[in-house]
Amino acid sequence: MPNWLLVLTLILLGYVLLAIEILIIPGFGVLGISGIISLILASYFSYTRLNLWLGLTVSAGSLILIILSWKLFPKTSFWKKLRLEEQETKEAGFKPYKGNLSELINKGGRTLSPLRPIGLCLIEGKRIEAISEGGVFIEKDKSVLVVRTEGNRVVVKEAT
C-alpha cells in the first residue's frame, strides 16, 4: 500500500469512527478513542513516511476540520432533529409527578416533545418525563401508552 493511501485511509477511518460515535452511539467510548488514535496515526505517518509539509498539512487540516465541525454541526437542522430543545422549567409548567407512578400503567397520553428516547408526555392531564420502550424515537404529538414504570421512570410505547 502506498504511504499516501495509508494516510488517507487512516484519516477517513478516523472521521468515520468519530461520526459513528457522535451520531449513533451515545457517550464517548471505544469508537471515539479509536477515531482519535487513527487521526494521530495519520499525522504521524504523514510526518515520518511522506514529508514535513504534508505532515503539517494533515495535522493542521484534521485539527481545523474537527474544530469547524464542533462549532458548526450544532447549528445544522440535522443536529436540531437529534437534540431535545424544550426545557423543563417551572415557568413552562413542569412539575414533578407526586403520585404513584405505577398507577399510570396502561394509561394513554400524547407526546409534548419528541422522545429521543426521553422527552415529555401528557398522561392523565399531567406533564410527565418518559422514556420510549427500546430507545426508539417517537415524534411530537403522537399517542403513547404507558407500558411499565421502573422506579421513577415511566416507559412508554407509541400507541397503534
Q: Cα dihedral sign for 25, 29, 30, 33?
A: positive
Q: What residue type is 129 in one-letter code?
A: E
Q: Are residues 13 and 77 in the same domain?
A: yes
- How does the average pLDDT of the chain come out, rounded? 84
Give CA–CA dist 40/47, Å, rounded.
11
Please determine, for residue 110, whether its predicted confidence score (pLDDT) is greater than 90: yes
Q: What is the pTM of this model?
A: 0.48
Mean pLDDT of the region 117-125: 90
Residue 94 lies in a domain: no
Q: Are residues 38 and 108 in the same domain?
A: no
Domain of 64 in residue numbering reads as 3-82
Cell of 40: 494521530
Give me the pLDDT at residue 132, please.
92
> How many domains, in total, are found in the chain?
2
Q: Are residues 21 and 56 in the same domain?
A: yes
Residue 93 lies in a domain: no
